[in-house]
Amino acid sequence: MRTGDGAKTLEVVRDVASLRAKVREWRRQDETVGLIPTMGALHDGHLALVKAALDSCDHAVTTIFVNPTQFAPNEDFEAYPRDEADDLSKLQALSADVAFVPPVEEMYADGFSTSVAVSGLTEGLCGATRPHFFGGVATVVSKLLLQALPDKAFFGEKDYQQLQVVTRMARDLDIPVEIVGVPTVREADGLAMSSRNWYLSPEERAAAPALYKVLCDIAAKLSAGQTSAAAIAEGRTVLEAAGFGPIDYIEVCDASSLEPLETADRPARVLAAAHLGRTRLIDNVAVG
Ligand code: AMP
């Protein structure tokens, strides 16, 4: 809906039938739709996805849903930051059209018993330490894509493995959507923006940019011909000295298959996940 000055009024939709009705109305007028799945606690990284959607589609549907199936029982589902009013005002400020904010029962009816599993790509990196995670993500994202049937769906490179998994899933299941990757938005000191940065104490926040710096150093060493093993070993030492631990992984991988690489002899990505206090941070950079 547009106001007199041309800005749109954000509509908050909480059920699938209303979302479908909304999208049907747009489609009837040959208008395109971009979907931005999020778990809320929106920051400028999320908003870059919304802007990318508004730049290339007529309408943007941002979903806000803290998906219980991608959290293990010992993880931070309950503590995950939630601030719906603030999220909605940020979306309104961008003139985004619709926020889809379903309650858990709308997404997972009683007796829900289906899951989407992407093999191979999900086994290493975050899949090794969070084995439940990508099943939860693939299932909820396939549901959101089938609910909204967007032309494009926008995902951050910050969660690089997730971007590859969702791209593969949409291709394998013939879901008619273009998956668009958006570069990572960072704080001025290099730290990748993340809802989980809220958990960091002031001391941890000061140490956190070391993760990005180490990844950049490893990428530079690989570009200069060093092997992955040597560059990663040095990076590990620096991260531990900065207070990180345990380090779940630091790996150099093929940029699309995510297979580990000994040297950067093709398009490659350096990826890491490491704990800083009670916060698990992830990040990645391209080599070259
Ligand atoms: P989340 O709410 O953490 O599940 O993230 C929702 C989407 O926003 C995912 O596609 C993320 O990759 C993306 N995202 C999160 N942080 C950033 C960031 N700093 N830069 C770009 N995209 C991001």
Q: Tell how far the Cα of 63 is from the centroid of ligand 1, in angstroms.
A: 12
Residue 14: is its pLDDT beyond 60?
yes
pLDDT tens string 180-233? 999 999 999 999 999 999 999 999 999 999 999 999 999 999 999 999 999 999
Confidence category of residue 1, pLDDT binned at 50, 70, 90: low
pLDDT tens string 26-78? 999 999 999 999 999 999 999 999 999 999 999 999 999 999 999 999 999 99
- Burial class, 79, CB count within 10 angstroms (exposed 0-12 / middle 13-18 / buried 19+): exposed
Superfamily of domain 11-182: HUPs (3.40.50.620)
d(CA 173, CA 164): 14
Residue 167: is its pLDDT beyond 90?
yes
Whose C-alpha lies nearest to ligand 1, atom 6?
38
Q: Which CATH number fits domain 195-286: 3.30.40.10, 3.40.30.10, 2.60.260.20, 3.30.1300.10?
A: 3.30.1300.10
Nearest atom of ligand 1 to the alpha carbon of 41? 2
Nearest atom of ligand 1 to the alpha carbon of 185? 20
Nearest atom of ligand 1 to the alpha carbon of 49? 22
- Burial class, 205, CB count within 10 angstroms (exposed 0-12 / middle 13-18 / buried 19+): middle
Check pocket membership of 195 for ligand 1, CB cut-off 6 A. yes
Domain with CATH 3.30.1300.10 in the chain: 195-286
Write down the catalytic residue from 46, 59, 132, 275: 46
pLDDT of residue 144: 98
59 is catalytic: no
pLDDT tens string 258-283? 999 999 999 999 999 999 999 999 99
Q: Is residue 262 a contact partner of residue 198, using CB atoms and an 8 Å limit?
A: no
pLDDT of residue 2: 53
Domain with CATH 3.40.50.620 in the chain: 11-182
d(CA 221, CA 264): 10
pLDDT tens string 82-136? 999 999 999 999 999 999 999 999 999 999 999 999 999 999 999 999 999 999 9
Residue 162: is its pLDDT beyond 80?
yes
pLDDT of residue 135: 97
pLDDT of residue 8: 81
Q: Tell how far the Cα of 7 is from the centroid of ligand 1, in angstroms.
A: 25
